[in-house]
Structure 1
Amino acid sequence: MRHQSADPYPFGASPTTSEIVRVWHDDRSVGDGSAMLYLRWIRYLREYCEQCGLAERAQLTRDGACRFSTWYVRRHGIMPETAANARTALYALNRVYYVLGRDPPCWQHAPVTAPPSTALLRSYEEYLVTHRGSPAATVHKKLAHVGYFLRHLRVRQRTWRSMKLTDVDAFLVDCSRRYARATTADIACSIRSFSRFLFATGRSSRNLADSVIAPVQPRYEQPRRALAWEHVQRLLAAVDQSNPRGLRDYAMLLMMATYGFGAGELIRLRLDDINWAASTLQVLRPKTGALFTLPLLPVVAKALVRYLRGGRPPHTTTRYLFVQLRLPFAPLTASSAVWHVISKHATVAGLTAPYLGSHVLRHSHAARQIDLGADPRVISEILGHRDPGSISAYVRIATETLRDISLPVPS
C-alpha cells in the first residue's frame, strides 16, 4: 500500500503550469524550447512523487534530482544520458518556488573546484592561504602546477622526498617545449613556492627554491597590446542592446573602456559598490587590495540602469553586479568570461587585432588617457599599479599607435 506524505510546507499547492511558465518568462531564465522539455520532466516528477508518496517540494534538491532521474532510468529501461536534462528541469522548478515565495529547499550546488587529492597538497593549500595570504585563484593555479610536477616525478619513479634539482630542471625544460615562456616562468614560480613550503614545514632538509631557474622575462620586451580608440568605439557599437545579454555585455565593455577596469575588477563589482545618490562607484583593486572611489559617469549610469532593469535576471540572489544569464544566474568568476564577451563582439565589429585578451580595453584606456595629456603617475595610481614604472608600457603604446586620436567617451 502506498504511503501518503503530507506537504510539510505551509504555502499551498504546487505551482501550476501557467505559474511556472509565467515565472520562467518574467525571469528570462528558460527559453520556449527548453520550457517544453522541462515541463515534460516536471510532469514525470509529479508522477514519481504521486507513486512514491513524496512531497514535490522536498525533492527539489541536487540529491532529490539524482534519485528521481535514477528512478526514471530504471523504470523506463533507458540510457542514463537520456535523463541528462532532468536535473536542470528540477532546478528550474526550484527557482519557481523561490520566486513565488514558497520556501524551496537549498539546492546545494557542487563546488567549482575539487579539494586537493592528497594530504600533502591539502597542507600546501593551507600554507598558501594562512602563511602567504594567497587568493583563491592563485592557490588553485599553484596546486595545478605542483600537481603537474608530482606526476612528472612519478613517471621518473621519484617522489617529492627523493627529488633532485635535476628533476626540477628536466620538468621545466619539458614545460618550455609545451608552453609559452611566460607560462613556463609562472610554473617555475609555483615550484619555488612548493620547495619553500617543503623546507619551511620540515618535510625537506634542502631548500631548492633559489636554485630553480626559470625563463628570463625581459621587462616590456614588447608593448602591451591595445586597440585604437576608433576600434573601441566600433566594438561598443557592435553590441546588440535589444536583448538582456547585449545590455549586460555593453555595460561591461563600456565600464572597461571608460575606467580601464581589468577583468578581475569588473567581475568583483557588487550592487552595493554603486552609490546612486552620490554618483560614485567603489572599486576594489584585486592585486593591491586597495579601494578606489570613482565618479559614476552619466553614460555609464545609463548603461547600468538599462542592464539592471532589462538585462540582469530579477530575483537573482547574488549581490555581484554582473552575472551569468542562465540558471543558476551565478556571478562571473573568471577572466575567461570577460574574454568571451570581448571576442564575440569584436568578431561582429570586424576587428582583426592580433590580441583581444581580457585586458585589452584596460590597456586601450590607459594609452588613450596618456595620449590626451594625462599625467602617467595619476593614471598609474588610478589603475592600481603597485609599481609606478608599469605605466611606461602604456606610454609606448600611446606614442606609437594613438598619437593622433582624441575622441570623447563613447555614449
Structure 2
Amino acid sequence: MMPGAHVSCFAEAKSEVVRVWCENRYLTPASARQYLQWVRRFYDYCGRKALDAELQLTHAGAMAFARWYARRRHTDAGSARHNAHCALRAWAFALRSMDHDLPVWESVSRRQEVQPPLLQEFAEYLRQHRGNPAMTVKKKIAHTTSFLAYLRHRHRHLRHLKLSDIDAFLVGCREHYARTTTADIGCSLRSFLRFLRVTGRLPVDLASSVVGPMVRRDERPPRALPWVDVLRILAAVDSTTAKGQRDYTMLLLMSTYGLGAGEVTRLTLDDIDWHTLTLHVVRPKTGVEFLLPLLPAVACAVARYLQDGRPRHTPTRHLFISTKAPHLPLGCSSAVRYILVTHAHSAGVWAEYLGSHVLRHTHACRQMELGVVPKVLGDILGHRNADSVSAYVRIATEGLRQLALPVPR
C-alpha cells in the first residue's frame, strides 16, 4: 500500500474513532488532537515502510515506530515511546470496538512471564493436593520465587539446601516487611519444602523446622474508621466526572455492604438484578455466594455510574474498570487502596491503616453498634464460621462500654 493510501485509510477511520472516544468520555478535545497527530505519523511511517498499518497496531509495532520517529526527528526516545504507545493503543481500542480484526495488543507490563517447570509443578500441587484458591497460589509462588532468587544469589542448589539458608532469608525479610508478612512468607516456604520432600527433590524434611515470627490469631482487633470519617470521604469524591462516579459507587458499595477489594473488583454487570433489586456477590477466597438487597441509594449511584460514568465500549463486563483505554477491569487490591487513600486525604482523613479492608471493618463495627445479630452480620460479610464475626465484637466500643465493671477503689 502506497503512503497516500495509508493516509486515506487514516482519514476514513478518523471520524468514527473520535466518536468512540467521545462516547467513552475518554479524552479531552486537546488530548484527542494530540493522539491523532501521532496516529497520522504512524500511518505515514507504515506507508514509507510498506507495512500493513492494522497489523502493526501492537505494542511491538508501536515501539518500532517510536524508535524510527525519534531517530528521524532527533527527539527524546522515551517521550516518543510514551506518546506513541498511548495514542496507538487508544486508536487500536477504538478500531476493535468498530469490529476491526486486529492483533492482540500485548503490553510488556501485562505479559505473563513463563514460570520455570519447578514453579509450575508447585502451583499445580497447591491447587490439586492442597486445595488452595488462585490468589493463595499466586501469593505462594511469588514468595517462593523470591526465595529461589535468594538461593541463586548465594550459589546454593536446592539439593544442598540448609536450614541456615532459610533462617537467613527470613531474617532478611523481617528487615523489609512487617511481622505478619514475614510470617506469611514462612508459611509459603513450609508449603514449598513439603512439596520438595514429597517429590523427592529434598532428601530431608525441613518444613517442620522453619521458624517464623509468632503471630497470634486476633491478637489485634481489626482497625475501623469512625463512621463520620466514612461520610466525609464519600462527600469528598467529585461525582461530576466519570472517574469520580466510578470511585464514589465503589466506595459506597464497600461501606454499605462491607465488601472487600476482591469482591468489589469482581462484580460484573450480570451480578446486578434490576428486577429483584439484588446484588450477587462471591467471596474470592472461600467461593461463598450470597445475595444482598440493592438499597435505593446504592441503586441510584450504580445506575448513574452506568449511564454517565462507565465507558460504553469495553472489552469486559466487569462493573468497575479503568478510565483509560482499553478499559480493563481493576485487577488488584492496590488499585482500590489507592482510590480510597486519594479521596480520604482529600477529605482530610489521615490514618496509617487506610487499607482496602478498612471499610469492611468499619461496616462490621457499625452494624454491631446498631445491634445487628452476629449471624446476620456473618451472612452479609460472607463468613462461613461464626468465630470470624467475633473479632468485630472487640471494636464495637459503644457496646463494650455497657459491659465495663466499676474500678474498685
Instruction: Report the residue type matching 1:23 in the other structure.
Output: V
Deviation at 1:117, TM superposition (A): 5.0
Residue aligning to 2:64: 67
Q: Distance in 2 between matches of 1:69 and 1:97?
A: 20
Task: State the partner residue of 2:407.
Answer: none
Q: Shift of the alpha carbon at 1:216? A: 1.3
Going from structure 1 to structure 2, the CA distance change for 1:29 and 1:210 (only over 3 Å counts) comes to: same
SS at match of 2:160: coil
Q: Hey, what's the Cα distance between the residues in 1 that align with 2:101 and 2:157?
A: 51
1:140 to 126, 138, 141: 138
Which of 254, 257, 260 is matched with 1:259 structurally? Answer: 257
1:195 corresponds in structure 2 to 193
Q: Given the alignment of the two structures, is residue 28 of structure 1 paired with residue 22 of structure 2, yes or no?
A: no
Q: Secondary structure at the match of 1:319?
A: coil
Superposed CA RMSD in Å reads 2.5
- Find the residue that maps to 2:307 and give its secondary structure: helix
* Partner amino acid, structure 1, of 2:159: R
Q: 2:363 & 2:58 partners in 1: Cα distance?
A: 45
Label 1:53 to 1:156 Cα distance change in 2 as closer, same or farther (>3 A).
closer
Q: Which position in structure 2 is the counterpart of 1:244?
A: 242
Q: Distance in 2 between matches of 1:354 and 1:401?
A: 25
Q: Retained in 2: the 8 A contact 1:4–1:54?
A: no
Q: CA deviation at 1:98?
A: 2.8
Question: 1:302 and 1:239 mapped to 2: Cα distance?
Answer: 16
Aligned counterpart, 2:272: 274
Structure 2 counterparts to residues 7-406 of structure 1, below 5 A: 15-84=12-81, 85-110=83-108, 112=110, 114-399=112-397
Deviation of the 1:45 alpha carbon: 1.5
After TM superposition, give the deviation of residue 109 of structure 1 in Å: 4.7
**More divergent stretch after superposition (387-396 vs 147-156):** 147-156
Identity between Structure 1 and Structure 2 (%): 51
Q: Gaps spanning 5+ residues in structure 1: where?
A: 405-411
1:305-335 CA-partner distances (Å, limit 9, x unpaired): 0111111111112011100111221100111
Report SS of the residue matched to 1:57.
Answer: coil
How far does the alpha carbon of each residue in 1:35-62 deviate from its partner, in whole angstroms, 9 at most, with x for none? 2321111111121233233443333233
Q: Compared with structure 1, are the counterparts of its residues 237 and 403 closer, same or farther at alpha carbon in structure 2 (3 Å cutoff)?
A: farther
Q: In 2 relative to 1, CA 24–113 (structure 1 residues): closer, same or farther, beyond 3 Å?
A: closer
Change in CA separation of 1:298 and 1:171 when aligned onto 2, cut-off 3 Å = same
SS at match of 2:159: coil
Distance 2:381 2:21 in 1: 40
Query: CA offsets, 1:173-210, max 9 Å, x none?
Result: 22223221101101101100110110121111222112
Q: Structure 1 residues 392 and 19, CA, compared in 2 at 3 Å: closer, same or farther?
A: same
Q: CA separation of 1:30/1:130 partners in 2, compared to 1, >3 Å: closer, same or farther?
A: farther
Indicate conservation of the 8 Å contact 2:135/2:285, yes or no. no
Structure-2 change in CA distance of 1:208 and 1:305 (3 Å)? same
Q: Is the 8 A contact 2:159 2:203 kept in 1?
A: no
Distance 1:159 1:386, change over 3 A: farther
**Which moved further from structure 2: 383-392 or 321-330?**
383-392
**Alignment deviations for residues 221-263 of structure 1 (CA, whole Å, 9 cap, x no partner):** 2221111112211111111110001111111011111111011
Describe the superposition over 1:7-36 as per-residue Cα deviations: whole angstroms up to 9, x where unpaired.
9xxxx8754544433332222222334323
Determine the C-alpha separation between the residues in 2 that align with 1:359 and 1:191. 26
Structure 2 gaps of 5+ residues are 403-409
Q: Aligned letter for 1:141?
A: K
How far does residue 403 in structure 1 lie from its aligned partner after superposition?
7.2
TM-score, normalising length from structure 2?
A: 0.89
Distance 1:322 1:119 in 2: 35
- Please give the secondary structure, in 1, of the residue aligned with 2:292: strand
Deviation at 1:356, TM superposition (A): 1.1
Of stretches 209-218 and 279-288 in structure 1, the one that deviates more from structure 2 is 209-218
